[in-house]
Structure 1
Amino acid sequence: MSDKNSKKEQDNEELQEKTANTEADEQDLNQEEETTEQAEGAQEDSVAAELAEMKDKYIRLMAEFENFRRRTAKERIDLAKTATQDLMGELLPVLDDMERARQSIETTKDVDAMLQGLELVFHKLKHVTQQKGLKPMEIHPGDAFDPDMHEAVTQIPAPSEELKGKIVDVIEKGYTLNDKVIRFAKVIIGA
């Protein structure tokens, strides 16, 4: 019987060991679950903090862009004002000369002197506008019609076969400013 008792004791000891091991495993498992939950919670907090940081950066970037847009619009308006101011400053001497010419027309009887004075003022005006990039278009009767440069006012029967579909007469000069058309030449086309 002592073998049976020792066997039972041994089984009891093994059972107690297994139970103790199972309890230790359960505690380890519980600790692992708590650690995993803490890690997941920390990861969620990290993602939330990163999202808040990205939202803040986005809001700041949008505000910065809006300020940039306003600033460039203001600078564009200021540039247009100063560009006009520069041109007007250069035209003031021409305006002064025109004023003097008008006064001299009232008092002078010499027509040739008046014409020479007006010619000088005209050349001065032409010089100022050419400095700023304004150029008249060179158009002659017989030139080909170009819709990018010319505006056809009317068509008339062509005086000769060579002028059909070409410019017969120029009614108003066209102008370019730095190679960009600012006024189309008004022309008559032969039909």
Structure 2
Amino acid sequence: MCEKSQTIKELLNAIRTLVVKNNKAKVSMIEKELLAFVSELDKKFKQQLNNFNELQQKIPLLQKANEEFALKFERMQREAQNQIQAKLDELNLKNKKELEQAKKYAIAKTLDQPLNIIDQFEIALSYAQKDPQVKNYTTGFTMVLDAFSRWLEANGVTKIKIEPGMEFDEKIMSALELVDSNLAKNKVVRVSKSGYKLYDKVIRFASVFVSKGNKKS
């Protein structure tokens, strides 16, 4: 810009030399106009230069802000992906457990008939102790009953062990009737029908008679 100003000034001097003798006032007016124009150009140039310098100073800050934003976005994206994957894993695990549970307890729907057969054999064995004619079949009944019991156990089915004198437990027992007994109140007097569990789930409550606890010996 300084070189341009110098060139214009030289031009002004040349013009002044050529026409100074004829029209000094006109030369002075032109000179003022040119000088004002040069001054305005110089101001604009300096302003643009200042703007450029300010922009250059801001570039590192903008670059840093851009890098920080990129890192933040990458971190947010990674966290979102991890959360989505964790949710998918949770759903898959839940579905897997539900499927395993369904398979585990699917046999429960088919157990009514085998359990009823076992009930009949247990009744027959109890009568065998009283009836000599039936007692001859005890060995055969016992073998069949044992075979059924082993098959049930192999499939996760176990008989709930209940003995007379035990406390009545509504979680595994169903009370058929309250009866007079020498046993304390709420004690099991007799088991009418055995209860069973499939793994840890009760699939049939034991039917029992429960003591009123009011009979004196």
2:158 corresponds in structure 1 to: 135
1:43 shift after superposition? 2.5
- Map Cα deviations across residues 67-118 of structure 1 (whole Å, 9 max, x no partner): 3244334433553565578x79xx9xx9xxxxxxxxxxxxxxxx99998766
Which amino acid counterpart does residue 58 of structure 1 have in structure 2?
A: E
1:102 corresponds in structure 2 to: none
Distance 1:188 1:34, change over 3 A: same
Does the 8 A contact of 1:149 with 1:181 survive in 2? no
Return the alpha-carbon distance in structure 1 between the equivalents of residues 105 and 177 of structure 2: 35
Does the 8 A contact of 1:168 with 1:189 survive in 2? yes
Return the alpha-carbon distance in structure 2 between the equivalents of residues 60 and 51 of structure 1: 14
Query: TM-score when scaled to structure 2?
Result: 0.46
Distance 1:163 1:118, change over 3 A: same
Return the alpha-carbon distance in structure 2 between the equivalents of residues 168 and 113 of structure 1: 29
1:7 corresponds in structure 2 to: none
Q: Structure 1: state its 5+ residue gaps.
A: 1-26, 95-110
Distance 1:82 1:135, change over 3 A: closer
2:65 corresponds in structure 1 to: 44
Q: Structure 2: state its 5+ residue gaps.
A: 1-48, 115-133, 213-217
1:155 corresponds in structure 2 to: 178
2:206 corresponds in structure 1 to: 185
1:45 shift after superposition? 0.9
1:144 aligns with 2:159: no
1:100 corresponds in structure 2 to: none
Return the alpha-carbon distance in structure 2 between the equivalents of residues 84 and 189 of structure 1: 30
Structure with larger RCO (C-alpha < 8 A, sep 6+)? 1
1:52 shift after superposition? 1.6
Does the 8 A contact of 2:105 with 2:198 survive in 1? no
Does the 8 A contact of 1:150 with 1:185 survive in 2? yes
Which amino acid counterpart does residue 175 of structure 2 have in structure 1?
A: A
How do 1:54-73 residues align onto structure 2 when only pairs under 5 Å count? 54-73=75-94
1:103 corresponds in structure 2 to: none
1:130 shift after superposition? 1.9
How do 1:164-183 residues align onto structure 2 when only pairs under 5 Å count? 164-178=185-199, 180-182=200-202, 183=204
Distance 1:118 1:171, change over 3 A: closer
Return the alpha-carbon distance in structure 2 between the equivalents of residues 153 and 184 of structure 1: 11
Q: Identical aligned pairs, as a percentage?
A: 18
- Map Cα deviations across residues 20-66 of structure 1 (whole Å, 9 max, x no partner): xxxxxxx9xx96x6565333322221221122212321332233234
Which amino acid counterpart does residue 124 of structure 1 have in structure 2?
A: A
Does the 8 A contact of 1:140 with 1:169 survive in 2? yes
Distance 1:82 1:151, change over 3 A: closer
Distance 1:188 1:44, change over 3 A: same
